[in-house]
Amino acid sequence: MHEGPNKGDVDSPDTRGRRPARWKTAVLAVLVVLAVAAILEGGARVVVRRQASRQRLSGDDAKAPIKAQHDLSDLDKVHVPDPYAWGKMAPNLVGYRVVGRCWNRDVDFTISTEEHGLRNPPLAADGARTRILAIGDSTTFGLGVNDEDTWPAQLEEILNERAGGERFEVLNAGMSGYSAFQGLRYLDKHGLQFRPALVAACFGHNDFATWNSKTDVERAIEQADIIEEATEKSVSDFFVLARRALEQAEHAVEGLTGEKRPRLTPEEFHDTLMEIKKVCDAQGIPLIFVLWPYEWQVQQRKPDPVQYQPILIETCKEMGAALVNLYDAFVEATEPLYLDPVHGNPAGCRVAAEAIAAAVGRTLDKEGE
């Protein structure tokens, strides 16, 4: 808390002239922040290494460290900042390989993106095909599978097979780690520019997860002015570096002292889904929500919704939005559909694409009546 100046803070004729210029003070402050961030980072690495050194396997594998449950650092390297959604995929990737682990299972896949960062080949000219925009989290992005095996890519293939030609184009705007709130901001600021004929949205896995002491909505409100100002006025990499250092330091402190809160509260999740529908309705774009079940729900044949799934189901009923509950399609499959407890393998993405394709067909036929 700022308590105001004391006597030593008051300017005097002798001290006022000797004070450094404001820009020097600002630069010094930024350097101090960067130094603190570097110290925190270095300390964190030492802690991680010490923890890893203590976690050794016994017997023949005594020298091998236990693998991390999650290691997607290769994927993190191709996430770029975005002032609205806070992050999106880097553009113009060609066969970028990701090797790591997710939920204690190894992943090895490649990513290609077009000029907008979509996980697609170069887009056809506007109006050349009927565009469907897929927004969502890592289940939509296709964590663990190659480009052609994601459900948006397979949905495009199915629709074009049924149409007898290249009439459809499914844009994969999924992003690992996205909450519904980030999806809403992406849709509003980026997605609508593609003029989709339909939007398919799949969220719910990240929204209830704890983040820090603020929800995504609270952080957006708090950072709105700062982000807008930085986006409009700053072209300095140094500014970006300083801002990232501040954010890392803030997250480190919150991780130690902050009260953990969900990315979105149940009320915020509900309201965000409603807002996605409003954005689409305002543009006359039909919307389909997708419920992606967990592996254990399918394996144990437990259709009862968990976590934020009930909110998704009830909110879709409330606003009259179409919902594709993939549990029904997944439970009927006779082959393995998951790479890990959450993400689909190529076969799982195919089953999802087929179920979504049926809903897309019904929706577009209804719109054409």
User: Domain check: are 145 and 241 in the same one?
Assistant: no
Spatial distance between the Cα atoms of 189 and 200, rounded to a whole number of angstroms: 17
What pLDDT score was predicted for residue 366? 84
53 inside domain? yes
Say which range, 126-135, 222-231, 245-254, has the weakest mean pLDDT: 245-254
Q: Between 172 and 249, name the one with better pLDDT.
A: 172
What pLDDT score was predicted for residue 22? 55
Inter-helix orientation angle 309-319/266-282, to 10°: 40
What pLDDT score was predicted for residue 213? 81
Q: Which residue has the tokens 């980030």?
A: 182
Dihedral sign (CA 180, 183, 188, 189): positive
242 pLDDT more than 70? no
Per-residue pLDDT tens digits for 76-117: 999 999 988 999 999 999 999 999 999 999 999 999 999 999
User: Domain check: are 242 and 254 in the same one?
Assistant: yes
CB 70 within 8 A of CB 143: no
Q: Between 276 and 26, name the one with better pLDDT.
A: 276
11 inside domain? no
Tokens encoding 295: 């592996």
Identify residue 5 by its one-letter amino acid code: P
Spatial distance between the Cα atoms of 369 and 359, rounded to a whole number of angstroms: 16
Total domains in the fold of the chain: 2
239 pLDDT more than 60? no
CATH number of domain containing 129: 3.40.50.1110
User: Domain check: are 172 and 227 in the same one?
Assistant: no
CB 354 within 8 A of CB 158: yes
What pLDDT score was predicted for residue 206? 96
Q: Mean pLDDT across the chain, nearest whole number?
A: 82
What three-state secondary structure class fits 5? Answer: coil
User: Domain check: are 32 and 166 in the same one?
Assistant: no
Per-residue pLDDT tens digits for 340-368: 999 999 999 999 999 999 999 999 988 87
Nearest Cα neighbor of 205 from 344, 79, 354, 100 is: 344
User: Domain check: are 187 and 283 in the same one?
Assistant: yes
DSSP 107-126: EEEEE---TTS-SSSSPPPT
Give percent above pLDDT 90 in the chain: 64
63 inside domain? no
7 inside domain? no
What pLDDT score was predicted for residue 234? 38
Q: Which residue has the tokens 């890893």?
A: 52
Say which range, 223-227, 249-253, 275-279, 324-328, has the weakest mean pLDDT: 249-253
User: Domain check: are 349 and 322 in the same one?
Assistant: yes
CB 113 within 8 A of CB 90: yes
User: Domain check: are 277 and 161 in the same one?
Assistant: yes
User: Domain check: are 268 and 179 in the same one?
Assistant: yes
300 pLDDT more than 60? yes
- Bridge partners (DSSP) listed for residue 110: 97
pLDDT band at 120 (very low <50, low <70, confident <90, very high): very high
125 inside domain? yes
When pLDDT is averaged across residues 142-171 and rounded to a whole number, the result is: 97
User: Domain check: are 26 and 150 in the same one?
Assistant: no
Per-residue pLDDT tens digits for 32-60: 545 544 544 444 444 334 444 443 333 33
What pLDDT score was predicted for residue 2? 41
User: Domain check: are 83 and 22 in the same one?
Assistant: no
Spatial distance between the Cα atoms of 331 and 293, rounded to a whole number of angstroms: 10
Inter-helix orientation angle 180-189/266-282, to 10°: 20
Give percent above pLDDT 70 in the chain: 72
Domain with 143, as residue range(s), is 73-209+262-368
User: Domain check: are 177 and 46 in the same one?
Assistant: no
10 inside domain? no
What pLDDT score was predicted for residue 260? 81
Per-residue pLDDT tens digits for 310-338: 999 999 999 999 999 999 999 999 999 99
What pLDDT score was predicted for residue 252? 54
